[in-house]
Chains A and B, each alone.
Chain A
Amino acid sequence: DAKTTQPPSMDCAEGRAANLPCNHSTISGNEYVYWYRQIHSQGPQYIIHGLKNNETNEMASLIITEDRKSSTLILPHATLRDTAVYYCIVRVWDDKIIFGKGTRLHILP
């Protein structure tokens, strides 16, 4: 699996868009980009995933660059409940989800 690089922490004001970057410069053509988050004392929660195209669901948007070497998770209107560690993961067909250290997102009131 390709490795990912994320900033260790970020702050975002409540009500603003939170943009979480992820670098995956060694991603291969058949690897997907997944995002999970883990709120304190809870299990990880799936957010979104994509291959090439940008994706949007009720939780977030995923923007993948054309060369696929980086992506951005966008939480359009961050709330205090979005405070969590966000994990960017790339993976091929096998089952391993290898969680790195992620980005600790603090939503500021």
Chain B
Amino acid sequence: ETGVTQTPRHLVMGMTNKKSLKCEQHLGHNAMYWYKQSAKKPLELMFVYSLEERVENNSVPSRFSPECPNSSHLFLHLHTLQPEDSALYLCASSPIRGPLGNEQFFGPGTRLTVL
């Protein structure tokens, strides 16, 4: 596979469930990102990892917990979510942090529905 892949593509979960979203990039990039896109709202940056170290956390509630075990994989662990957390969750990667290398490549997203 090439590019950025995300699994699952669709997820329905209850508020008491625990689930994880997975992102994998096959581009040899060193930076990875999680974004949230709610209906009729702009994309919101959630987390940034550079060389497997979290470098950005945009005031995201603790019910979202990211994990970056290596530069190719990024997870978003979900627990006790709220219905308003229903959204499209997008993963992206870029070669390096910074302007010259940060053409970010996005995955197809996971459409999450919280019941």
A interface, CB within 8 angstroms of B: 30, 32, 34, 42-46, 49, 91-102
- CB pair B109 A96 closer than 8 Å: no
- Within the complex, what minimum Cβ distance (angstroms) separates B46 from chain A? 11
Q: Write out the residue numbers on chain B whose beta carbons fall within 8 Å of the beta carbon of A96.
A: 45, 56
Could you list 25 examples of A-B contacts with CB < 8 Å? A30-B99, A32-B99, A34-B103, A42-B109, A43-B4, A43-B92, A43-B107, A43-B108, A43-B109, A46-B104, A46-B105, A49-B103, A93-B98, A95-B31, A95-B33, A95-B45, A95-B48, A95-B55, A95-B56, A95-B94, A95-B98, A97-B45, A97-B104, A100-B42, A102-B42
Residue among B4, B33, B99, B106 facing the most chain A CB atoms (10 A cut-off): B99
- Within the complex, what minimum Cβ distance (angstroms) separates B94 from chain A? 8
How many angstroms from the CA of A44 to the CA of B35 in the assembled complex? 11
How many angstroms from the CA of A100 to the CA of B55 in the assembled complex? 23
Q: Does B102 contact A (CB under 8 A)?
A: yes
B interface, CB within 8 angstroms of A: 4, 31, 33, 42-43, 45, 48, 50, 55-56, 90, 92, 94, 97-99, 102-109
Q: Write out the residue numbers on chain A whose beta carbons fall within 8 Å of the beta carbon of B106.
A: 43-46
How many angstroms from the CA of A1 to the CA of B6 in the assembled complex? 29
How many A-B pairs have beta carbons closer than 8 Å: the answer is 51
- Within the complex, what minimum Cβ distance (angstroms) separates B2 from chain A? 14
Q: Write out the residue numbers on chain A whose beta carbons fall within 8 Å of the beta carbon of B55.
A: 95
- CB pair B31 A42 closer than 8 Å: no
Known A44-B106, A94-B97; further 9 A-B contacts with Cβ < 8 A: A30-B99, A34-B103, A42-B108, A42-B109, A95-B31, A95-B33, A95-B50, A96-B45, A98-B42
Q: Write out the residue numbers on chain A whose beta carbons fall within 8 Å of the beta carbon of B56.
A: 95-96
Q: Write out the residue numbers on chain B whose beta carbons fall within 8 Å of the beta carbon of A91.
A: 99
- CB pair B99 A92 closer than 8 Å: yes
